[in-house]
Amino acid sequence: MKKASKRAPWPVIILITAFLCPTELSLYIAGLRFPPHRVALFILFPIAIVRLFSQRGLKLTGFDIFFVLFNVWITALYMHHQGAQEGLVYGGSQALESLGGYLVARVWVRTQADLRATMRALGWAIFVAAMFALPEFLLGKIYTHEILHQWTGYYHPIGYEQRLGFTRAYSVFDHPIHYGTFCATMAAMYWYAENTLKNRIKKAALLISATIMGLSSAPLLCLGLQGGMLVWDRMTKRLRNRAVITFTIIAGLYIGASLVSTRGPIAVMATSMTLDPWTGFYRLQIWENGIANVWQYPLIGIGLADWQRPAWMVSSTIDAFWLVIMLRTGVPSLLLLIIGFTLLIRRVNKHGLKNKDPKVRNLARGWMMSFIALSMISTTVHLWNVPFTFFFFFVGCAGWIADPLKVRAKASKPVTARLEPE
């Protein structure tokens, strides 16, 4: 049996370390900018490809294929929209970040011990990020980006925004939302990975404290969703058909809200479940106008062209990950992702939630809750640069559950008794 890992695999450590490197530390090669995490992936990606096809006990599955098809599709469409060279550069960069992040986790996180070691490394990364965020949160200056701007000459756009009397911290990330999302995503996994209530509370305190310093509604909502699912899981543990009951209750609440509200449930949530109601309203407008653009070009999207919207919506930013995918590269690209996620979730359910080992079941349950929460907040957050890679890295961390490493005992030849002459 494979010996339990005491530390995360070295490629995983390299990538997590790159997540913490600010964008000012980018390299410039042939006129192209390579952020630190992209440099790491540029090195690790070919090694991961070789390992995918050569590692014993690892096989290419349906969800792997659909994630590859997604990246092939978006690269081809960017080449169609932007021209062969520019499209290949942009689409290839997107594919490197998404497929590369996914494969690093997929081929190097292959056992329960690997995942736990990876989570420990991510826990330390969150702690480090929080230490950079703390002085920004309390003292009102974006220290990391300001200092690196002076050292490197590269200027990353930052804004000073006060909420609840504190400053939204960037830490080492490109935006406070990115920082908060990085800290909040795996809360349910950390909860289920610990065996004692004391350790669970310690991890929860770290994640909540770190996330709060970004003062972003979506990451805080991500924590709240995971907390709600943890409570619901505890309350319904002995309830039969609880999945059906849960979806029935959710559907009932949605229909009820639709009947009593003139704005609709989604509009109510968008404008009320945010620290800034205007932000929620604006994101709702992004969805309404963005979907109109999607239906104009449903198959191939609009590439990097500007999208149509009212004149008062000055910014071209689209704060919705799933909407950006459809808008830029068409509805088929999102369908490819959804099929890949569905196949992965089915196998996590089969090999994880129904596993005989309670520790594996807990990790699978935690991953599922974290994935649901991250997917939901991605309707109001655009994941780019580090969060984009981190999202697919997180997805790849479930690969060992969906495609478990089969440990085969060495076949021993049957011993046949022979009578030897005396």
Q: Please give the sequence-ordered ranges of beta strands (E in DSSP) within 81-224, or none if there are none.
A: 162-163, 166-167
Predicted pLDDT of residue 360: 95
User: Cα(108)–Cα(106) distance, rounded to whole angstroms?
Assistant: 6
Give the whole-angstrom CA distance, residue 55 versus residue 66: 20
pLDDT at position 164 is 85
Q: What pLDDT shows up at residue 422?
A: 33
pTM: 0.90
Cα-based angle 206, 202, 377 (whole degrees, multiple of 5): 45
Alpha helix ranges (H) inside 185-272 = 187-193, 197-212, 217-235, 242-260, 265-272
Sign for the pseudo-dihedral over CA of 309, 311, 313, 314: positive
Which of 115, 118, 138 has its CA nearest to residue 209?
138
Whole-number Å distance between alpha carbons of 161 and 213: 12
Q: Are 81 and 302 in contact (CB under 8 A)?
A: yes
pLDDT at 400: 94
Give the pLDDT of residue 257: 57
User: Residue length, the chain?
Assistant: 422
Say how far apart CA 63 and CA 343 lie, in whole Å: 5
Structure tokens at 205: 């305190």
Mean pLDDT of the chain: 88
- Residue pair 206/122 in contact (Cβ under 8 Å)? The answer is no
Residue 265's pLDDT is what? 57
- List the chain residues with pLDDT less than 70: 1-5, 243, 250, 253-277, 407-422
Residue 167 three-state SS: strand
